[in-house]
Structure 1
Amino acid sequence: MAAKRAEQFPTLTMVVEGLDCADCARLIERTLGALPGVTSVMALPASGAVRVTYDPTQVDPARMHAALSAVGHPPVLPETAAPRSRQADRRLLMAGLGIVTLVMLTVLGEAMGWLDRLQAILPWPIWLGLTLIVSAPVIRDVSRAAWHRHVTAHTVMTLGLLAALALGQWVTALLVATFIRFGDMVERITTARARTAIAALAAFAPHAARVEREGQEVLVPADAVQPGDIVVVRPGETIPVDGLVISGQATVEQSALTGESVPVEAEAGMPVYAASIVRLGALRVQATAAGEGTTFGRMLRLVQEAEANRTPIQRIADRFAGAYLPVVLAVAGITLLLRHDGVAAAAVLVVACACPIALATPVAVLAAIGATARKGIVVRGGAVLEALAQADVLLLDKTGTLTTGRPSLTAVVPADGWSADTVLALAAAAERDSEHPLAEAVREAARMRGLAIERPDRFSARPGFGVVAQVAGKTVVVGREPEGSVPETLATAAASLVQAGNTLLWVNVDGQPAGVLAAADTLRGDVPLALAELRALGFREIMLLTGDHPQVAAAFAQSLGIPYRAGMLPEEKISVVQDYQRQGRRVVMVGDGVNDAPALAQADVGVAMGVIGTPAAIEAASVALLREDWMLLPALVRLARQTRRVIWLNLGFAVTYNVLGLSLAASGMLSPALAAAAQTLPDLVVLGNSARLLRGLRPVHAVPQPGAAHCQRSHCRS
């Protein structure tokens, strides 16, 4: 009961100041999580936002605002414009050049003895004042964190700065403070650069809608539109809701959703989606969803929350960073005890920095997720990318996945005593409320024959079997199996249809077969090439899992050169996934996200194909491809593997560099000034290495080779 009540608690989203690193996120989550009545906290550096679920009877937003302000992260108004990547690149380049120049001057000044002569020019109070002015924000943040029993990446370096001041190393202390501030600047700019793709996506979010109310057009907030409202969209405007066009005609660009700039033509009866732009024409749209309930709203929320799904590598790095402070303090203490050298001990504290270790994973993941979002791909976190990078088994659904999902009815065979139109009309009525692609084929065939599609009195879907409905006082079951005894003539016709590669739908009325419907689908043209690419990427097993008839499944599987299992129920697909997982294999399951959602959830990576306008599928899968493009899958696998390589390179470099720096500082070979210069360089390397992922997906443009396997049956031709 408590869990049920918690699900009904409101969720507050706040954009907060200074949320641009993992340390900030942990401090915010710990601070808000300690408030009574707060049930969950999610700090999201990618969007600079915090999502809090809370019990309003115990805590209110004002108290949460006060708690955030106390730790230096007060809520602020969200930015209305996305940062420009080129501007961020220029700022990053200038900051990097500034750091490199300062490092060179520090090294040269140390070698030539300029730092000591510079320190003698001014009295120590001036050096102290300059150091405190430059380091004030750092000391403030570290002190706030310490007050809340939180250690940040700058805690150790701040101790080194204070040690330099205690030893009278005034110029060194000022250099340490300056390098820390430069490092923070680079981190903020890089985080902003990594945010660019996600922020650009958020900029497409519609803010207002023109709604017809009592014969007048009224401008209201987009998330205030109710299902059933009529929304007017004029040329050049963004469609603010998901809905159906009830009048008008227009060219609509859906690049914010699918990553494709190729427009589609919208007219009466067609669905349209929020964040699409009307380029030519005007539309009147009846809303079906608004705000976060739209396809775009769900996509944006999942992309923004993706970074909270931390990879196993990131959890290891977080634990390492947490243990780093006591290790560094121990090294500094041992250095002071054995060498009696306070300067060397101070250098140990200055050179130690956990920033590159903390940044190694989140910046890389953030860049990769932002890059995929631009292409209409929703990836639910770094853990998904890591699992995808290690996967070696690919399981495939058929209808709507390997096929276009738009089958057409090829035959209606009635049993004795029934007419073809009556059988089709009953089947269409039973399938009236079904979302399955075969159901749409049945309804379309009935409409083409001019048959009325009656509304059923009762309806229920049985995944893997079909549908059951009460139509005109009759119990109508439409599914893959007949009920009762099948007349020989009907059985012979059904066998012939299956042999031709059709999928059968048996129409049973009051427990007896009234007829059989045959439907055929079309294989997607890019599937053979995509599967060849995935094999080349190391997928050792690729298998078709379908609820279809074995002979139909065989036709598709043979054309693709893969094994198959047919006649499968949803729970049987789950069992296959679990069998592979028990063998230690990493499984990718690709489906349409509707009736195969349980198997997608069970797989290590569940990929829902072409899910625009299907919110349930977007929520069910760990990867959602809004565009029906199979070549996105091998491109995504490549990006996942590149992301994993980048993370390991980042971590390996950061750990090696820190160990080397600690060793040199403890041995007295690295002065505090040089240590301050040295600790800024790994940040630049880690951030620059991660920025490679911002280039995004590398699609395959190869041409199928002559002689490649193609399905020659009529239902497989692309």
Structure 2
Amino acid sequence: MSAIQTLEVGIHGMDCTSCTQQVQKAVAALPGIQQVSVLLSSEKAIIQLDPAQIDAAAIYRTIEQAGYTVVQQTAAAAPESGLNPMIRPLFTLLGIMFAVILFVVVVGERLGLFATLTTYIPFPVGLAIVLAGGFPIFRKVGRAALRGQVISHTLMSVGVVAALVVGEWPTAAVVVFFMRAGEYAEHFTTERARRAVKDLTALAPKTARVERNGAEIELPISAVQIGDVIIVRPGEQIPVDGEVISGQATINQAAITGESMPIDTGPGTAVFAATLATLGSLRLRTTHVGTDTTFGRVIKLVEEAESHRADVQRVGDTFSAYYLPVVATIALLTFLVRGDALATAAVLVVACSCSFALATPIAMLASIGAGAKRGLLIKGGKYLEALAKADVVLLDKTGTLTLGRPYLTDVVPLAGRSETDLLSLSASAERFSEHPLAEAVRVAARERGLPLAEPQEFAALPGNGVRAVINGRTVTVGNRRLAQPAGDQVQADALEAAGKTVLWVLEDDALVGFLAVADTIRPEVPAAVARLRSMGIATIEVLTGDNERVASALAGQLGVQHRANLLPEDKIAVVRAYQARGHTVVMIGDGVNDAPALAQANIGIAMGVAGSDIALEAAHIALMREDWTLVPDVVAIARRTMRIVKSNIAFTAVYNLVGLSLAAMGLLPPIAAAAAQSLPDLGIMANSARLLRQPSATPQAAPVATPVPAPVVVAEVSCCTTGCCSSTPPATILLIEERVEA
């Protein structure tokens, strides 16, 4: 069997989800198609196919036959379009010009001009005008009919035919005019919503200045390779992800993080594609190019967010599928009961199924696109919908709630050791550990200029610490559980009571000293937690692997409940326990150590994920910068989005119900019905467009009586949990840490 290939096809002319469904059904019916995802926001289809059974040309032809235009195809595979793209606008202009004239004529009927003017325009000429003006729509309806499909314009086209049958060609012409006007309104509505996504895509770099053979040459991004040295001058866009090897510059990272405050970079700093060097020049070595860069991945995830559809959107799509047959039935009953062909035509004309199809995706696209500009990467409407209902929030600590940059505060030697000897020994044992606490020990040793020995053996002890062989002696650095049998605990107790993490240092199982390490809560956390409470999340609990004293100190500073001494493998169990009770769970972490819990939660939110592939893949919502104010913001955005979606659906349902009723009773003539059917789209656009201008999503609460505490010292030795799920109290926020030595 041939290897499955992925084909991306740009498609022009899709204005609502019914359009995407037509393309998806048509392509999915072809032999050799494994999977089809048609994206309204980015106007393309992502198709997985077996090249042994079907080629790209056949897919292009099928899309064209469905009534849409393929805009991304190779010259060799390009199918012949049934209608030249240059001719289509001419038909459109012709149809609109004549329809506008006829509309004026019809309005003039009230002034007694209609009968006189229509005398000079015979029926065959009127018929030609109707066919010319409505040709693009009639063509699309005819193609759908040949495939046994009924689309949103089918009923209106039947209404046009009904008006022609009874000799009301001016009415048919005006209906065509409003059909075209409605089509443009739908296109404008969709285009307005996808604008934020297109603006984001437009930021993608196109070329790069590369050092090749001692010379600087400008190449397209597609020609840049991993390891190439890139030159970036003041005011230029950084074209790739890379590491600075020389030079210094101030970088505006707004395209990635949504934060306009620039940062300073120098040798060793990681930089990202699509960011801007506002001051200074850089030489950097390429690590990722094109779609593999952080920015490229962001664009891809935003484009594909549409495929993760909210349940409420599926309800709307299902309603649309049943709506058209119901309208046809009402029209038939109107004709049978009243015998009024014009009333029957009005029923068919006033029905607007596209408004139902637009009600949810337009709002979702607006929020996802606007969020991307602010550094909020939302992977789909279903996560916005779930987040709006969230009642449990689980919080990781290190790197999420805290700054994630622990520092060494105390060195307490025992057994006749000196501080220098103890610190050098500990840093040598921690030499190969990637744990943040190990880095704090190594940094302190480097700052004092201490030599580090090379471990002969090294082992990470997840949740406990490390063990290494240094100069033939076994050195252990870890938590209280690891060192429980050894030495006096009084000094360790005193350090923990001060809210610090204590590392016990043993040499051949003999306690030789303590190290104390501390981290600080992010300064914006207390206010952000207060905002979450004001949104209805009242109970907050801290779950930590630290001992009772450290957990109590942290919880006391935040005014929350706590549980201590917990093991890491129970984090997913905690999430599952809440889900089993019917809660909608949010997990917030740094996206690396927390990836399993983020994936298990109903909504996983990763913080500060720029440059982290694991975090971007694991989380359902990614905050591109480390800013805790974004947490309540994104919750409020989700709730606001769902309010607008529900109001869109309610407005559309009521509007169509009233319109159908008036048309069936003969109170809404076909001309007025044609005008009325295009208005719901404009209403949905205006309502959903409010999401494109997202305010600070949660209003600031009134000042509380007690001042917000200053950043406090928090600590932990390991991310540990006990098997405690069965006794978990009904909390809505848990503070969870992940401490794994690697």
TM (normalized to structure 1)?
A: 0.88
Q: Call closer, same or farther: CA 1:443–1:618 in 2, change over 3 Å.
A: farther
Q: Which moved more, 1:151-160 or 1:243-252?
A: 151-160
Q: Call closer, same or farther: CA 1:180–1:715 in 2, change over 3 Å.
A: same
Q: How does 1:542-691 map to 2 (within 5 A)?
A: 542-691=540-689
Matched-pair contact (CA < 8 Å) for 2:105–2:113: no
Deviation at 1:302, TM superposition (A): 1.2
Matched-pair contact (CA < 8 Å) for 1:401–1:591: yes
Residue 322 (structure 1) aligns with: 321
Residue 202 (structure 1) aligns with: 201
RMSD: 3.2
Q: Call closer, same or farther: CA 1:431–1:319 in 2, change over 3 Å.
A: farther
CA distance in 1, matches of 2:252, 2:572: 38
Residue 21 (structure 2) aligns with: 26
CA distance in 1, matches of 2:312, 2:367: 15
The one-letter code of the counterpart of 2:500 is: N
Residue 379 (structure 1) aligns with: 378
Q: Call closer, same or farther: CA 1:112–1:444 in 2, change over 3 Å.
A: farther
Q: Call closer, same or farther: CA 1:215–1:106 in 2, change over 3 Å.
A: same
* 1:267 equivalenced with 2:262 (yes/no): no
**Where does the alignment leave 5 or more consecutive residues of structure 2 unmatched?**
74-96, 716-742
Q: Call closer, same or farther: CA 1:204–1:302 in 2, change over 3 Å.
A: same
Deviation at 1:704, TM superposition (A): 5.1
Residue 339 (structure 1) aligns with: 338
Q: Which moved more, 1:63-72 or 1:402-411?
A: 63-72
Q: Call closer, same or farther: CA 1:160–1:265 in 2, change over 3 Å.
A: same
CA distance in 2, matches of 1:339, 1:137: 33
Q: Call closer, same or farther: CA 1:282–1:110 in 2, change over 3 Å.
A: same
Task: Select the residue among 501, 526, 538 that pairs with 1:528.
Answer: 526
Residue 48 (structure 1) aligns with: 43
CA distance in 1, matches of 2:375, 2:414: 47
SS for the counterpart of 2:12 is: coil
Matched-pair contact (CA < 8 Å) for 2:521–2:711: no
Task: Select the residue among 10, 14, 21 that pairs with 2:9.
Answer: 14
SS for the counterpart of 1:501 is: coil
Residue 351 (structure 1) aligns with: 350
Q: How does 1:351-370 map to 2 (within 5 A)?
A: 351-370=350-369
Deviation at 1:557, TM superposition (A): 1.6
CA distance in 1, matches of 2:116, 2:671: 14
CA distance in 1, matches of 2:622, 2:493: 37
Percent identity over the alignment is: 49
Residue 66 (structure 2) aligns with: 71
Matched-pair contact (CA < 8 Å) for 1:545–1:568: yes
Matched-pair contact (CA < 8 Å) for 1:106–1:674: no
CA distance in 1, matches of 2:66, 2:159: 23
Q: Call closer, same or farther: CA 1:305–1:514 in 2, change over 3 Å.
A: farther
Q: Call closer, same or farther: CA 1:107–1:601 in 2, change over 3 Å.
A: farther
Deviation at 1:155, TM superposition (A): 2.0
Q: Call closer, same or farther: CA 1:487–1:457 in 2, change over 3 Å.
A: closer
Matched-pair contact (CA < 8 Å) for 2:16–2:354: no
Matched-pair contact (CA < 8 Å) for 1:38–1:54: yes
Q: Which moved more, 1:454-463 or 1:684-693?
A: 454-463
Aligned residue pair count: 689
Residue 91 (structure 1) aligns with: none
The one-letter code of the counterpart of 1:72 is: G
Q: How does 1:484-499 map to 2 (within 5 A)?
A: 486-489=485-488, 491-499=489-497
1:228-265 deviation per Cα after TM superposition (whole angstroms, max 9, x unaligned): 33222122221122222111111111011111221111
CA distance in 2, matches of 1:231, 1:422: 44
Deviation at 1:413, TM superposition (A): 4.3
CA distance in 1, matches of 2:69, 2:456: 55
1:557-604 deviation per Cα after TM superposition (whole angstroms, max 9, x unaligned): 211111223333343222222222222222222211121222222222
CA distance in 1, matches of 2:266, 2:13: 46
Matched-pair contact (CA < 8 Å) for 2:428–2:452: yes
CA distance in 2, matches of 1:297, 1:429: 40
**Where does the alignment leave 5 or more consecutive residues of structure 1 unmatched?**
79-97
Deviation at 1:474, TM superposition (A): 7.6
TM (normalized to structure 2)?
A: 0.85
SS for the counterpart of 1:488 is: coil
Q: Which structure has the bigger radius of gyration?
A: 2
Residue 447 (structure 2) aligns with: 448
Q: How does 1:46-445 map to 2 (within 5 A)?
A: 46-77=41-72, 119-413=118-412, 416=415, 424=423, 428=427, 436-445=435-444
The one-letter code of the counterpart of 2:445 is: A
Q: Call closer, same or farther: CA 1:463–1:488 in 2, change over 3 Å.
A: closer
Q: Which moved more, 1:554-563 or 1:106-115?
A: 106-115
CA distance in 2, matches of 1:648, 1:113: 45
* 1:539 equivalenced with 2:534 (yes/no): no
Matched-pair contact (CA < 8 Å) for 2:550–2:714: no
CA distance in 2, matches of 1:384, 1:612: 20
CA distance in 1, matches of 2:508, 2:332: 86
1:291-310 deviation per Cα after TM superposition (whole angstroms, max 9, x unaligned): 22222222221111112211
1:191-226 deviation per Cα after TM superposition (whole angstroms, max 9, x unaligned): 222222221111221222233334333433435544
Residue 736 (structure 2) aligns with: none
